[in-house]
Amino acid sequence: MQDLKRLVKVIADNTPKVMPLIDHSDYTGLESKLYQFIKNNEALTDEEACTYLYGEQKISPSYRMLKSRLRKKLLNNLFFAELSENHFRKCRIVHAECSSLLLQAQKLAYLGEPYMAEKLADQVIVIAQKAELNDILTKAYEIKQDTDLISNNRGKFDQNFALLQRYFSLETQEREALLIYNKLKFEVNFNLSNYRKQTEAYCESLALLKSLWEASGSSKVFDFYHMMRTAYCELTGDYEGVITVIKEAQQLLADGLINEHWFNERFNNYILVYTYLRLGQLADGLYYANLYLKNFREGSNNWFAFLENYVILALYSKDYTLAVKLCALAISKGALEYPRASMREMWGMLEKYVYLISNKAPINNNVSFSLKELETSIISKDKEGYNLPLLILEYLENLPKLDAEDMDMYSARFSKYTSKYLKGEAGSRARLFIRLLLLSMKGEGDKLEEKGATLLEKLKNTPTPRDPIGEVEIVPYEHLWELVLEIHPHRVKN
């Protein structure tokens, strides 16, 4: 009871009279009215909110202050936000819980209650040890050391000092692993040309991460190592190796060599579906995509990325009904308004491909992205990545109305792209398909299918490259050629 009495006094003396939180059941105050109005309206402007609250559109200083107060209360409510195990990794859920307890402990220490702070730190240690959260354990033992300095208990001080050293050393190794991971991840995500240059760097980084993991035994370091091993398999085109790496991680988990809180199940779900796509094992890919979609938090970055592979699997399988359904779902959840520009642009392009190949009306009633906008965007700057599918998309969309002069213009653009970017084995399928498209620009009329038969057979016998550039084939070129043959007679008649 004494601790509770002291805690009541701390709260009574150091918190505002009005609690700085949102009351979800309140509909009377201005802050609550604004909260409920925003909550219940998808598209909203400041002018509409002002009209609702004050009866006029003018944005007043009072309204700006109201928004500021509401924002502060919403941020305070984050302390009580719940993270579901269905959508978040266990390590992150426990980390958030421990971080909240640590903040409470630190404030108690600042407010002159070190022994109450130590009790909370002990509570944090029990939880964090099970989840192997070494950075949290470092902070918890720092709080305990502060109490040891007050108590002058040498036995406790020496014991906690040794533990603090241990966890600090582990945290340092984990931070080193994080720096390695972040640097290389940025480089390989920058563009496909840069991706190919990273093979040597990958080998060095993998070796370093492996040594850090073996030296520390840290499951967090293993997490970085595991993700980079799968990425290395992708870099080298060893997609069977991805499946092996995942199975090895599952065995390490079963053997108790990595902490279950750090086992990255959703990452494995994502990469496995992507691997089946790259291996052309479409039935398995669709099965696992349907099975795992629920594991991702709807509307999150990872959910959109997973759904992108799901849509492409549907396109490859010619299940256009499913592709349209999935694309419509992504757009309804904000794919075209997503804060990350590359994500918006990818879905804008994917949407156009889906309704073009499926002969459906645009999924988005408003114009989502014009090709002109896409041509100056982030994804088109990766010349070896998505510039070609953008050019193909533009040609196919305009094919019904192109005249001879237009055809000459497209012929020049495709020829220039081929000579500049499509080198070696990785560009073999793209080169063959462009030759087919060039054939469609020569006014072959009813003989187009016959004239293209030899090239089409070569295309069918040319496997998809395992180089990352193969990713640009959003719809198999064979399927796009079928679309050209379908459109072309109508264009000729016009």
What is the residue-averaged pLDDT of the chain? 86
pLDDT digits (tens, 9 = 90+) for 109-144: 998 889 999 999 999 999 999 999 999 999 999 999
Residue 455 burial (CB count, 10 A): 16
Structural domain boundaries of the chain? 2-169, 387-493
pLDDT digits (tens, 9 = 90+) for 186-219: 887 766 566 667 777 788 899 999 999 999 999 9
Least confident range of 106-110, 162-166, 357-361, 402-406: 357-361
pTM: 0.78
- Give the residue among 366, 288, 361, 367 at the shortest CA–CA distance from 320: 361
Per the CB < 8 A criterion, the answer to whether 327 and 361 are in contact is no
Would you say residue 361 has pLDDT above 80? no
d(CA 88, CA 84) in angstroms, rounded, equals 6
Give me the phi and psi of 25, to 5 degrees please. Answer: -95, -5
Which of 450, 453, 477 lies closest to 463 in space, CA to CA?
Answer: 477
Give the tens place of pLDDT for each residue, 34-61: 888 888 876 678 888 888 888 887 888 8
Q: What's the rounded mean pLDDT across residues 94-106?
A: 94
Query: Who's near 439: CB < 8 A, 6+ residues apart?
Result: 448, 451, 452, 455
Tabulate helix, strand, coil % of the chain (nearest 5).
Answer: 75, 0, 25
Dist CA 113 CA 12 (whole Å): 14
Residue 222, pLDDT above cutoff 90: yes
Burial 119-148 (b: 16+ CB within 10 A, else e): ebbebbbebbeebbbbbbbbbbbbbbbebb
Structure token digits, residue 394:
């533009």
Residue 371 has pLDDT above 50, yes or no: no
Q: What is the DSSP string of 126-179?
A: HHHHHHT-HHHHHHHHHHHHHHHHHHT-HHHHHHHHHHHHHHHHHHHHHHHHHH
Which of 77-81, 270-274, 277-281, 477-481 is predicted with the least confidence, judged by mean pLDDT? 77-81
